[in-house]
Structure formats: C-alpha cells, structure tokens
Amino acid sequence: MPKTELKNVVDIFCGAGGLSAGFSKAGYNVVTGIDNNENSIETFRANHDCEPIVGDIQRQDVISDIKEAVSQNGYNTEEIDLVIGGPPCRGFSMANVRSDSAEHPLNELPARFLEIVRKISPEAVLIENVPRLLTVADGKFKQSIIARLESMGYNTTYGVLEAEKFGVPQKRRRVFFIGHKSAEPELPTQAEFEFKLPVTVKQAISDLPELPTGGGGELKMEYSFDNSEASEYVAEMRRHEEPGVVMNHRTTRNQEKTYRRFKHIPQGGNWRDIPEDLMKNYTNRQQTHDHIYQRLEEHEPAKTVANFRKQMIVHPTQNRLLSVREAARLQSFPDDYHFKGSSFNARQQMVGDAVPVNLAYSIGKSLRNCHATGELSSV
C-alpha cells in the first residue's frame, strides 16, 4: 500500500550537503549522507542533524557502510523513502569535452549510484548532474539511467532546470532525473519565495563587508549593515544566523601582478579586457576560457559559480575575487551554513561543487504531496 508522503532521505555523493540542505528546508528528514571527501563530510556533519560517513562509492560492499550509518542514526533501510544524489560530474562537464565516450572513469558513477538504489529500494529517487550527461556518448548515459530506473519499477522523468527561476541568484543549469514507484513524476515549473525572482548579484551580497583590494577577510566578521536594510533575499539568508556576524567571508589574497588586472575588467567583461602586457603568462590565448577573470554584473544573476578561485570570478564593484560566503550566497546557502575543512581551497571547491539549496528545495517541495495526489504538485 503506498505511503502518504516521502520523509526519510539518504544522500549519496552528498558533498557539502546542498541537496540535503534544500530537502531539509522542504521538510524532509535527512538520515545520513556519504561521500569520499573528508572535508565535505566535516561540513555536512556540522550542518545536518545526523552522522554522515566517509566512504568510497566504488567499493562493492559500500552498501553495508550505508546500512550501518542508517542504523546508527536510528533507522533501518526499510524506512528510507527517498535516495538523492549527484554522482560527480567532471566526466560530463564542459571542462572535459574529450569525455564524450563511455570510457571516462567518472562516467561509471551513475551506475554505482543506481546499484545502491536497487539495494535500498526506496519509494523515490532523485539524480542530479550537468546537462551534458543527456548527450554524452550519443545519449548512452541518459538512456541507461532511464532504463535501469524503469527496470526497478520506477516511473521516470527528467529535464534541465534553470536555477535562477528557483530562487538562486545564479544562471546555473542542472539536469534532474526523478523516479517514483507510485506516481507519474513531473519536474517543478514554478517557485514561490518571499523575495522577487530573479535575484541579482547586488541583492544577494551587498550587505557583506567590503574586503581589501586583492582579497583577504576573516573567518568571522560583522555585516556592513543590519538586517532591516537588507534585500528580501538577504533577510532570508540571514534569518537564522547570529545577529551581526557573518562567517566564511574570506577570499584568496592575490599578488599585485594579479589584482592589477582586475581594474581593467568592466562588469560582464573577462580576461579579454585586460591589456596584453599584463597577461604575458597566458601564452595560448586561443584556449583560454571566456569565464576566466569574469567580473560579475551586479544587476543580473551571476554566471555559473563552479570553482570560483580557479575561474578567477571577480567581484562586481571591488577589485578582488569572490569570498566563500559570497559564493555560498550565490548558491543560496543560508549564512548559518558553515563550511569546514582542512584548507581554504577545500572550502572554495565545496561551495562551487554544491547543488544550489533553493533549487533542491523547490524539487523537494514539489515532491511533498506526490503520494497523496498521485502526481507532483507545483512548487
């Protein structure tokens, strides 16, 4: 007999916990998460009310570790209603344009994810990845995911969602596959928040304190102004944080030869706006990506924020790179979500790799009434 609602969630390839944060916000109970990155697990543990585990998904017996973690958190696998996860996408990303074959080693991870789903057998499943998964290897991976979900008894849908339409101040595209055993799933088509969409960069980060030219900042700082002066989006981000205090507002400190380049870049510009005599170390300009040294436009949502340090994403009005907290805001992480880890670079990477929280929330909210209605409600 079908259950009346989805509740208990296990997050596979959980990373820093963006998917879980969104589903928690939508009212789900996150039972555990698993990832092979210790920095990500430290961050997940600090922000979720459950014990996650460090584990290698490629190990054949990893399901035993997951079941043990579920048990240690007070549940059994029969109580898991939903398995969610984003198998690492570097094998499918635009940075790996040569991986359009089935042979890239990271491209096997969706299959491992689905094997775990088969052994847990939840009522529903959610898979997140980059849109190129749909076309890589002539669509082989898309077809394989759908076929395997259907073979396990799931009604399945998939599609690409635009993050800025779901409460995220960032133009980020992600593909989602949803499988459900007792309903015909649909992807959400609209979102409702207490702030107007789309959210611009300025609306997302303008309350954060100014940092020095070239970068800097501290682990713990004070906001530039109180919550009453902030945008509606910022008020939402600051709702649960310690009054007047912001964490993780730090950025890479660049050498003078690097930050001299920043002042030449207009909003919306990139490395092409920098005089050639300041870019002598870029010997192969034909292979330099347009997103390098890109300055954000304050009155638009941000471009995709991946590894914002390696991308050299520049603040819209200050001559420095983005801070961890600014990138987290652009990923819709609330300010009480603190990023841990052994290094500053690790925290930057975690934020860039995460699923935007409000995008995950929108999907989670649309799934809330799936059992009761026989169809996914709009957000």
Residue 14 annotated among the catalytic residues of the structure: no
Whether the upstream peptide bond of residue 198 has omega within 30° of 0, thus cis, is yes
Sequence letter at residue 365: K
Residue labelled with tokens 């399945």: 156
For residue 221, list its beta bridge partners: 246
d(CA 351, CA 306): 8
Question: What separation in angstroms does the CA of 172 have from each of 11, 71, 168?
Answer: 21, 36, 9
d(CA 131, CA 45): 29
Question: What separation in angstroms does the CA of 41 have from each of 207, 314, 330?
Answer: 29, 29, 22
With H, G, I as helix, E, B as strand and everything else as coil, classify residue 45.
helix
On whether the CB atoms of residues 326 and 313 are closer than 8 A, the answer is: no
Antiparallel, parallel or unpaired: β 53-54 and 8-12: unpaired
Q: At what angle do helices 18-25 and 357-367 cross, to 10 degrees?
A: 50
For Cα atoms 91, 95, 96, give the angle at the middle one, nearest 5 degrees: 40
Give me the catalytic one of 14, 50, 89, 370.
Answer: 89
Just list the catalytic residues: 89
